[in-house]
Structure 1
Amino acid sequence: MSLGMIVVLAMAAIFAPVIAPYDPLYQDILARLKGPSAAHWLGTDQFGRDVLSRILFGLRSSLMISGGAVFAAFLAGSLLGLTAAYYKGWADRIIMRLMDVLFAFPVMLLAIGVIALLGPGATPTATAIGIVYTPIFARLLRGPALVVAESDYVLNARAIGASDARIIFLHILPNLVSVILVQFSLLLSSAILVEASLSFLGLGTQPPVPSLGMMLSEGRGFLFLAPWAAVFSGFAILIVAFALNLFGDALRDELDPRLRQA
């Protein structure tokens, strides 16, 4: 079920230029704040723009920003976590203390701080989310990597002269795939909410590019007059976050042998 929902949402985002009934930037002042109808299935906003078209393109923007940010966090966090677990000693202490410094800040506060330095926009938003989630991957992978690094096949690889990079990426990392997949899907759900929150505050994707969080922010000013723009954009955020969370939980139940046996 959750996988089917994710596939449908991903296809809607990918093919948004094809399936969207209108240009998301096109303004029809005569049709502003119109309710759902045959011409505009989800109504129009204060500028007469089609809400459905903007939601489709906003979904595309949110998934691209969040997916790119979480993937970058995975690359940086896994490199730091595996390096700390493999070399131990001072490398472990320095890397993990730096991660603890990042962990000390609340997620939104750190993201806002990064955007304050880089300026608002889609790229700074992705960078901020990537920085926020990097220590999560580093700490998550360090624990099991410490155990795998002491296993017999890793010790044998060292004995025959395999390079450190080969051992880390070909012997240790593949054994952590299940943990990575579960955490990736759960963090992607969280990243969608962070991106929407930043856009809601005016720090994320900038107008006129559609964004679900920005649509929610713009629609709140017309909540009693024309609530559909805010309601439908908020509902879209809810569906995406719910589908990714549900998929992450199902993936964890399937890949965890203890839960599978139970």
Structure 2
Amino acid sequence: MSAADIRTDAVRKGGFDPSAGARSRWLRPSLYNISLAMIVVIGFVAIAAPFVAPYDPLQQDILQRLKGPSTAHWLGTDWLGRDILSRIIYGLRSSLSISAGAVFVALLAGGILGLAAAYYKGWTDRIIMRLMDILFAFPVMLLAIGVIALLGPGRFPTGAAIAIVYTPIFARLLRAPALVVAASDYVLSARAIGASDLRIIAFHILPNLASVILVQVSLLLSTAILVEASLSFLGLGTQPPLPSLGMMLSEGRNFLFLAPWAAVFAGLAILIVAFALNLFGDALRDDLDPRLK
């Protein structure tokens, strides 16, 4: 019997089709590459905002207020005559910097707490995880608004609020796989030969959590963009006149029937960034998780 007959017979009986794995391997990199290309373009535009933006995002021209998309202003102007494309580019820069900084701080704080709870166990684990449960019990937006109420509105308080909200997520996420790795033979062997706790955590436990960290960072970064935009929409994030996607959406809703392009394009920018990061996280998870292969 030929190989083709064996494969056809296996598929007919409900077995595994070897060609399906090849097709999935071709499909997965395409989604990965598309999302990665989108993130690279968005990141480049945000970093090179002073060189890419056609106008000063704070420059007002009352005579050009609420003008529709044209060759002079590709995405139109807002209620103060400011170029919407320029403000979206600078708004991307602001949103990405705040969200990325907040997620990094949350990863650092939550990762240290989660690894310490998993490695030392006992009362250390109980105390740390009960504190994380208290933070985790609050809804995301309610806790973020509470933090900003204490610190005041602005870019730094917004980043601090997002970092505090995401710290228990990283702590709980890293604790579970760290418990399994900490009980493995090579970790026990490292303890037996006298390796320090810091060396064991840094060189034996943490590298085995790299795939989990990468996937979760990309997924939480997309939600952090939405949280930052929501806080700015409520007037608690980036303050005027600095551009912010959420604030542009809030300002544009007042002129939704007269000049909808300000709100529509700001909303599309938020959607595209969140979609790209979510797609990248899903593709990365499919590629790094052996259970999904």
Give the TM-score range, shorter chain. over 0.9
Write the distance in 1 (CA, Å) between the matches of 2:190 and 2:84: 57
More displaced, 87-96 or 146-155? 146-155
For 1:236-251, what aligned pairs fall within 5 Å after superposition?
236-251=269-284
Q: Name the larger-Rg structure.
A: 2
Residue in structure 2 matching 1:112, options 113, 134, 145:
145
Q: Secondary structure at the match of 1:209?
A: coil
Aligned match of 1:148: 181
Residue in structure 1 matching 2:112, options 67, 71, 79:
79
List structure 1 runs of 4+ shifted beyond 4 angstroms: none
For 1:195-206, what aligned pairs fall within 5 Å after superposition?
195-206=228-239
Residue in structure 1 matching 2:172, options 114, 134, 139:
139
Q: CA-to-partner distance for each residue in 1:58-97, whole Å, 9 max, x for gaps?
A: 0000000000000100000000000000000000000000
**1:5 and 2:38 aligned:** yes
Aligned match of 2:212: 179
Write the distance in 1 (CA, Å) between the matches of 2:231 and 2:54: 27
For 1:27-176, what aligned pairs fall within 5 Å after superposition?
27-176=60-209
**1:257 and 2:290 aligned:** yes
Matched residue type, 1:196 = A
Structure 2 spans left out of the alignment, 5+ residues: 1-33
Q: CA-to-partner distance for each residue in 1:114-151, whole Å, 9 max, x for gaps?
A: 00000000000000000000000000000010010011
Write the distance in 2 (CA, Å) between the matches of 1:96 and 1:9: 36
TM-score scaled to structure 2, two decimals?
0.88
Structure 1 spans left out of the alignment, 5+ residues: none
Write the distance in 2 (CA, Å) between the matches of 1:119 and 1:62: 18
Q: CA-to-partner distance for each residue in 1:130-175, whole Å, 9 max, x for gaps?
A: 0000000000000010010011111111111111111111110110
Aligned match of 1:209: 242
Q: Secondary structure at the match of 1:21?
A: coil
Q: CA-to-partner distance for each residue in 1:5-46, whole Å, 9 max, x for gaps?
A: 111100110111101000000001110100000000000000
Write the distance in 2 (CA, Å) between the matches of 1:112 and 1:70: 17
Q: Secondary structure at the match of 1:165?
A: helix
Write the distance in 1 (CA, Å) between the matches of 2:242 and 2:195: 49
Deviation, structure 1 residue 216: 0.2
Q: Secondary structure at the match of 2:79?
A: coil
Q: Secondary structure at the match of 1:120?
A: coil
Q: Percent identity?
A: 82
Deviation, structure 1 residue 258: 1.3
Write the distance in 2 (CA, Å) between the matches of 1:162 and 1:59: 45
Write the distance in 2 (CA, Å) between the matches of 1:170 and 1:217: 47
TM-score scaled to structure 1, two decimals?
0.99
